[in-house]
Amino acid sequence: MLSFIWAIQVISAVLLIGLILIHSPKGDGLAGIGGSAQMFSSQKGAEKNLNKLTTIVAIVFVVCVFLLGFGIVK
């Protein structure tokens, strides 16, 4: 069981890195300080699904970290 949780953690970590890199940038960097950034931007369907998938993978990763970190799974 321990090796299964380790495998899930590694897979979710790699997926999380990939999903975060796929996201489109939201801000304009330092140009956003002056107020030139768009304040109200709607998300498209694909981006909403990407956000949901990223959230799910992040939750799986955090649960695996807690299970392994606190020694719940042996």
pLDDT band of residue 5 (cuts 50, 70, 90) is very high
Q: HSE, CB side, 13 Å, CA atoms: give it for residue 2.
A: 7
DSSP character for 22? H
65 pLDDT more than 70: yes
What pLDDT, on a 0 to 100 scale, did the predictor assign at position 45? Answer: 87
39 pLDDT more than 60: no
Closest CA to 58 of 24, 26, 27, 18: 18
pLDDT band of residue 7 (cuts 50, 70, 90) is very high
Three-state secondary structure call for residue 5:
helix
The reported pTM is: 0.77
What's the maximum distance between 2 C-alpha atoms anywhere in the chain? 53
